[in-house]
């Protein structure tokens, strides 16, 4: 299978994502320029983190008008898989491919740290390599990650298993302290109803190698490779020693 | 014609920046301030638009681009021309 990583002016996790997919996961990956109109036959589009268009107006608000994003929208509507990471998640919300919106973190700080997230729904193309309730340790780096959706929408999402990741503590408990940015329901990642589009605030590409503190991010990429490719993903089952991390 | 559009959070949405400004005002002794809501102001210069056209166009622009209708509301007025 082939991944495509979209580059906007201001994307800054594009090469990290390319590296994680191509070099770590050994999956063919191309970079896609936002001004182009061609998705180059990729099986999965990844919208990387960063500050597309300087976060002007609202995070992700301008990127959604890029020519390539119209292709991404059509691709998603036809069932193509799209993964949005951090700013990519914000773009998917602005684009209307995912429900809800992001507001500023509750403490008004840019948060850059490792957090724990719990897999709430393992029956998706993005999480099938994981287990329900599994705790992943993945870094976040964002200013606007405080997830909001109207109560009715939220209830609907809960009912359809659209909440895929929640912020939790190291033991997997969903607590107020673990809810770093103030998101409703500790939401860290969601999928659309059809389950082919997923957005999450944590950066799996920054947690793809033990040398960098965690390999947990591989679970998401490995899931996609399992779901969309025929080849076995390059993923070692690693048991981490929890005591080594904060 | 020049129009001014004010975009702010809906009342149902928490405004962490407004809250912080309110807390600062309280620290300074302005206890009279009960609440603060922060927003954004846009001024658009429209070329050759009539009032009627503006009334159709401006809300459309505000809804599609300037505000995110899930979390924000908007208000607008003509500030120059007619």
CATH of the domain at B74: 3.30.1280.10
What digits encode the pLDDT tens for the residues A27-58?
Answer: 999 999 999 999 999 999 999 999 999 999 99
Number of domains in chain B: 1
Residues from chain A that touch B41, judged by Cβ atoms under 8 A, are: none
How many CB pairs below 8 Å do chains A and B form together?
35
pLDDT on residue B81 = 86
Give the range of the structural domain holding residue B50, as residue numbers without chain letter. Answer: 2-80
- Domain covering A3-233+240-244, topology: Rossmann fold (3.40.50)
Q: Which residues pair with A27 in a beta bridge?
A: none
Q: Examine the predicted complex and report whether its ipTM is higher than 0.85.
A: no
Answer yes or no: A245 catalytic: no
Who among B9, B16, B68 is closest to A108 (CB)? B16
Give the residue from chain A lying closest to B20, CA to CA.
A108
Query: Where are the extended beta strands (E) located within A120-232?
Result: 135-142, 146-148, 163-168, 187-191, 197-200
What are the boundaries of each domain within chain A? Answer: 3-233+240-244
Place of tokens 């607590």: A175
pTM above 0.95, yes or no: no
Q: Which of A15, A93, A90 is nearest to A53 (CA)?
A: A90
What digits encode the pLDDT tens for the residues A122-181?
Answer: 999 999 999 999 999 999 999 999 999 999 999 999 999 999 999 999 999 999 999 999
* Whole-number CA gyration radius for chain A: 16
Percent of chain B with pLDDT over 90: 90
Q: Distance between CA atoms of A235 and B37, rounded to whole angstroms?
A: 48
Place of tokens 């779901």: A227
What's phi and psi for A7, nearest 5 deg?
A: -110, 125
């Amino acid at each position: 299978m082939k991944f495509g990583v979209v580059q906007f002016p201001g994307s800054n996790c594009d090469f990290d994502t390319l590296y994680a997919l191509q070099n770590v996961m050994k999956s063919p990956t191309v970079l896609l320029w936002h001004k182009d109109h061609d998705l180059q036959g990729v099986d999965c589009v990844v919208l990387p983190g960063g500050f597309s268009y300087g976060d002007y107006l609202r995070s992700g608000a301008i990127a959604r008008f890029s020519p390539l994003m119209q292709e991404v929208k059509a691709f998603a509507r036809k069932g193509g898989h799209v993964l949005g990471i951090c700013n990519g998640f914000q773009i998917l919300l602005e684009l209307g491919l995912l429900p809800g919106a992001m507001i500023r973190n509750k403490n008004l700080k840019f948060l850059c740290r490792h957090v724990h997230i719990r897999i709430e729904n393992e029956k998706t193309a993005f999480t099938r390599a994981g287990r329900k309730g599994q705790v992943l340790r993945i870094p976040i780096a964002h200013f606007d990650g405080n997830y909001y959706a109207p109560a009715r929408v939220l209830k609907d999402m809960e009912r359809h298993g659209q909440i895929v990741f929640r912020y939790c503590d190291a033991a997997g408990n969903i607590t107020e302290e673990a809810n770093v940015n103030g998101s409703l329901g500790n939401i860290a990642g969601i999928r659309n109803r059809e389950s082919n589009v997923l957005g999450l605030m944590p950066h799996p590409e920054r947690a793809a190698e033990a040398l960098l503190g965690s390999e947990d991010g591989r679970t998401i990429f490995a899931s996609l490779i399992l779901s969309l490719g025929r080849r076995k993903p390059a993923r070692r089952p690693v048991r981490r020693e929890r005591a080594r991390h904060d | 014609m020049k129009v001014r559009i004010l975009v702010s959070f809906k009342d149902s949405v928490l405004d962490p920046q407004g809250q912080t400004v309110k807390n600062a005002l309280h620290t300074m002794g302005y206890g009279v301030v009960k609440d603060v809501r922060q927003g954004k102001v846009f001024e658009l210069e429209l070329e050759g638009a009539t009032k009627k056209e503006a009334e159709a166009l401006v809300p459309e622009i505000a809804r599609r681009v300037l505000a995110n209708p899930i979390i924000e509301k908007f208000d607008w007025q003509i500030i120059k021309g007619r």
